[in-house]
Amino acid sequence: MDMILEDVSEPVKKEFLSRVLSPIQTEKELLETLKCYLANDQSLKKTAFDLHIHINTLHYRLKQMKELTDIDPKSVKGSTLFYLALSLLE
């Protein structure tokens, strides 16, 4: 995947990041939750444990992400979009 991401031009990266992350980019708590959720292979239990939050709080945050971005982090497509966007940020 690194090879593919390296081949993407800066304007395309910026546009992609804008489309995927701009609604939550200033929401530090949501971004941290998203990173942890994806790092834990979408395990709700492990993510809630690692973040020291109740699982209902995690569900609420994931719902907020979906409402703000119109991308469902629980879906394969959504998690892929978010994973790629976070990879481009690094």
What are the boundaries of each domain within the chain? 2-89
Digit-coded pLDDT (tens) for 8-20 = 899 999 999 999 9
pLDDT of amino acid 36? 98
Instruction: Indicate the CATH number for domain 2-89.
Output: 1.10.10.2840
Q: Provide the 3-class DSSP secondary structure of residue 28.
A: helix
Asked if pLDDT for residue 3 goes beyond 90, the answer is no
pTM over 0.85: yes
Q: What is the DSSP letter of 43?
A: -
pLDDT category at 77 given cuts 50, 70, 90 is very high
Cβ atoms 9, 34 nearer than 8 A? no
Residue 67 pLDDT class (50, 70, 90 cuts): very high
Q: For position 48, what pLDDT does the model report?
A: 98
Contacts of 52 (CB under 8 A, 6+ apart): none
